[in-house]
Copies of this chain bind each other. A is one copy, B any other.
C-alpha cells in the first residue's frame, strides 16, 4: 500500500520523450539539454581538490561558494547576505524543498500558464492545486495576484520555460507591488538568466519586493554543466532556517566535490568567460530556428523570438492533438515536446515547445523542415 501521493505520481511524458529522442538519428527539439560542445569540462587533472571536501559538510553548503553566489546575486540586483544562500543538488531540488515548505494537500499555487512541467509535477505530488489568473502576452498581470487567493506564486520571470517570455522592469515592479499588497510570497525560478542573447535581463522580480516573503533560485546546469548537479536558492531571512532543515532531512548536504569545482570556477572568473564563449553559439542557433520557422511555418504557427533561454514556444493556428503530432514526429526521427503538460490545468492552445540548444544549425533547419511537413 502506497502513500496517497503516489496516485498523483504520473509517468513522466518527458522521460519517455527524452528516451525516444536519444535514439541515433533523431533530431531532438524535445529536451532542454545544453549542447555537448558548450558544456564546461573542469580540468580535474590540473586541480588540487581541497582535502576537507571528502568529509561530511554543512547542509547550507560550502561557506566560500555561498559568498560567491551572494556576490553574484548582488551583481544581478538582488541584495542578500551569504547566510541567505542554500546550495542545492541542482535547482530541481529547490522545487522539492519549497513544496515541502509551503504545500499541503489542497494548497493553491498561483502560476503562469503554461509553466515548467517538472515544477507542476512536484507541486502536484505534494497535493497542490493551480490557479492561473489573468495573463497578458508575457505572463501574469497584477490583477491575477490581486484577484486570487493562493499560498504563494510560482514564477519564471526571465526567459520562461516553455514560452521564452521575459517580464520587463516595469512589469516586475508592478507585480512586486501587487505581491506586497496581497502579502503573497513568491518563488522565483531563474535558471536561464545568464543565457541572454539581446542584452542583460532585468534584476530578479523578488529584488523589488518590500514586504512579501520570497525564495529565488538559480542553477549552474545551463551555464556550466548539468552533470555537476549544482544550483542554489536564496531566501528571505524568515525562510532560510526551515529550508536548510528541509535540505538536511532530504540529503544532509550537496556534493562537496562539485561545490569546490564551482567555487573555483566562480572565483577565477571562468563562469563569465564560459558564458561569453557559449552565447554566440546559442544566439546563432536561436536565430537559425527563427529563420527556419519564418521560412516554413509562418502561415501555420505564431511565436515570439525569445531574447534568452533555450526554447521557442510555437502556437499552432489550427487546433490539433500535439501528442499525436509528437508520435508522428518520432516516426520521422524528429522529437518535439507537446504543449499540453506545461498547462497547469491540463488544457491549453495547441502548442509545441522547441529546444534550439541541443541541435546543430543544420539539424535545426532540417528539423523545422520535417515539422512543417508534419503540419501540412
Contacts and interface: CB of A to CB of B under 8 A. Distances in A.
A100 to B, nearest CB: 7
A47 B93 CA distance: 29
Interface stretch (A165-173, A247-255, A292-300, A367-375): A247-255
A257 interface: yes
Contacts of A92: 249-252
B229 A4 contact: no
Contacts of A54: 39-41, 225-228
A90 B252 contact: yes
A159 B44 CA distance: 37
Nearest to A225: B54
Contacts of A242: 2, 6, 9
A248 B15 contact: yes
Nearest to A250: B96
- Identical chains in the assembly: 2
A125 to B, nearest CB: 6
A59 interface: yes
Interface residues of A, number: 70
A177 interface: no
A245 B48 contact: no
A8 to B, nearest CB: 10
A228 B249 contact: no
A34 B56 CA distance: 9
Interface string A260-273: 01000000000000
A165 to B, nearest CB: 24
Which 10 pairs between the two chains have the least Cβ-Cβ distance? A54-B225, A227-B256, A39-B54, A54-B227, A93-B251, A255-B255, A56-B226, A44-B44, A89-B251, A53-B227
25 contacts: A1-B151, A3-B100, A3-B101, A9-B242, A9-B245, A9-B249, A11-B245, A12-B248, A15-B248, A41-B51, A44-B47, A44-B49, A45-B45, A45-B46, A54-B227, A54-B228, A55-B226, A90-B252, A96-B251, A227-B255, A228-B256, A229-B251, A229-B252, A229-B255, A251-B251
